[in-house]
Amino acid sequence: MTAPDDAMDLTVDFSPERRAAVLVETLPYIQQFAGSVIVVKFGGNAMVDDQLAAQFAEDVVLMHSVGIRPVVVHGGGPQIGALMDRLGIQSEFRDGLRVTDAETLDVARMVLVGKVNLDIVSSINRHGSLAVGLSGEDAGLIRAAARNPELGFVGDVESVNPAIIERLLAEDLIPVVSTIGADLTGQAYNINADTVAAAVAGALGAERILYLTDVEGLLADVDDPSSRISRIDLSGLAALIDNGAIIGGMIPKVQACVDAVEAGVGSAHMVDGRIPHVLLLELFTDVGIGTMVLPDGGVAADGRGVEGAGS
């Protein structure tokens, strides 16, 4: 695998020879993924940077155009915080999670369903009438339960009913899912988007799930940017967790990857959403970008097994 800086060269070399080479390089990947469901969790800088967000929409539409069935799942923590600040509502956090009372839940629903979701749908639909916005409350898509009474209406995923997504995919549409779920009484909960994406991918039997993050991938040594792990299996991840190599904000992202793979998703990918057209680079080129998480004994699309801690 080539380092991310080398991968970015693909976006600046516009010679006819390079263009032709890239097109030829993409062909086996297009053939491999045609007809497959690929879930993309949209977040980080890619969501708040207008140019990156527009490029993300282009990537999703191109995936759709070559026969892939993309499903987008998004959160919106920074946007929720920004609106709460404008409204003069104080945020309280416990163990990194926003305490969500009824007022905060109303803000979260307004932002996730009424703002962020609509913006993503609109961005995709600039390229054709393809995207449909969904909330986890729609058609019982995400059944939720309270995580901890002290956190208020912060939820965990109890189950996913993918029927509404499957119907949209059958109509050749692109579902865009915001992460508000509901329990059997209709009470809404705000749920971590990484967790929802893994559960949705598992329920759909997705081929891959890609998490857009603000890091280059998983590092074997958190102090050494050159120690990025290109491919790792579940046993390798467990070893990294045990030796303390995975800390802080990477822990929930790694756990989401584990949950997705354990649910039957072919592979989970952590990629740097700050790189232009990172989805296309990760899916359709030999270089790869971030970290691919495979089941134990799994092999990558290029036929190679795991490396580093997962060897």
Q: What is the pLDDT of residue 14?
A: 58
Last residue of a domain, one of 147, 171, 206: 206
Tokens matching residue 306: 């795991």
Starting at the edge strand that comes first in sequence, how are the strands of the sheet with 267-272 ordered? 131-135, 174-178, 69-74, 37-42, 208-213, 267-272, 291-294, 231-233
In this structure, are residues 210 and 281 in contact, taking their beta carbons and an 8 Å threshold? no
How confident is the model at residue 95, as a pLDDT? 74
CB contact set of 3 (below 8 Å; sequence gap of 6+): 226, 228
3-state secondary structure of 185: coil
Residue that terminates a domain, selected from 172, 206, 240: 206
Residues shown for the chain: 311
213 SS3 class: strand
pLDDT band at 240 (very low <50, low <70, confident <90, very high): confident
Q: What residues does 100 pair with on adjacent strands?
A: 152
Residue 97 lies in a domain: yes
Which comes out higher in pLDDT, residue 231 or 215? 231
Do residues 170 and 110 both lie within one domain?
A: yes
Radius of gyration of the chain (CA): 19
Residue 164 lies in a domain: yes
Task: Report residue 154 as tokens.
Answer: 């912060």
Residues 106 and 162 in one domain: yes
- Residue 156 belongs to a domain: yes
Whether residue 238 is predicted with pLDDT greater than 90 in this model: the reply is no
For residue 62, tell me if it sits in a domain. Answer: no
CATH number at residue 136: 3.40.1160.10
Give the contacts of 242 (CB within 8 A, at least 6 positions apart).
none
Domain of 277, in residue numbers: 1-32+213-311
Chain center to CA of 192: 11
Residues 91 and 171 in one domain: yes
Kindly state whether residues 154 and 261 are assigned to the same domain: no
Say what the pLDDT of residue 225 is: 76
Strand spans (E) along the chain: 37-42, 69-74, 93-94, 97-98, 131-135, 142-146, 154-160, 174-178, 180-182, 188-191, 208-213, 231-233, 267-272, 291-294
Closest CA to 77 of 213, 182, 188, 192: 192
Which residues on adjacent β-strands are paired with residue 228?
219
Q: Does residue 64 belong to any structural domain of this protein?
A: no
> Do residue 155 and residue 277 come from a single domain?
no
Backbone phi and psi for residue 120, each to the nearest 5 degrees, phi listed first: -65, -45
Residue after which a domain boundary falls, among 179, 206, 233: 206
Same domain, 226 and 247: yes
Q: Which sign does the torsion angle of CA 100, 75, 32, 302 carry?
A: negative
Q: Which two tokens stand for residue 196?
A: 């929802």
pLDDT band of residue 24 (cuts 50, 70, 90) is confident
When pLDDT is averaged across residues 255-269 and rounded to a whole number, the result is 94
99 found inside a domain: yes
Mean pLDDT on 180-196: 95
Average pLDDT, the chain: 87
Residue 285 lies inside a defined structural domain of this protein:
yes
* Same-domain status, 293 and 190: no
Same domain, 84 and 176: yes
Q: Tell me, yes or no, whether 108 and 179 share the same domain.
A: yes
Confidence of residue 17 (pLDDT cuts 50, 70, 90): confident
Task: Express each pLDDT in 125-165 by its tens digit.
Answer: 999 999 999 999 999 999 999 999 899 999 999 999 999 99
Q: How many structural domains is the chain composed of?
A: 2
pLDDT tops 80 at residue 212? yes
- Residue 224 has what pLDDT? 80
pLDDT at 303 over 60: no
Q: Are residues 164 and 41 in the same domain?
A: yes
Write the burial class of residue 238 (CB in 10 Å: 0-12 exposed, 13-18 middle, 19+ buried): middle
- Closest residue by Cα to residue 146 from 194, 211, 191: 191
The more confidently predicted of residues 45 and 37 is 37
Are the C-beta atoms of 125 and 131 separated by less than 8 Å? yes
Q: Looking at the structure, do residues 28 and 38 belong to the same domain, yes or no?
A: no
pTM confidence score: 0.89
Q: Determine the Cα–Cα distance for residues 120 and 146; give it in Å rounded to an integer.
A: 28
Domain contains 65? no
Mean pLDDT of 172-201: 96
Residues 28 and 93 in one domain: no
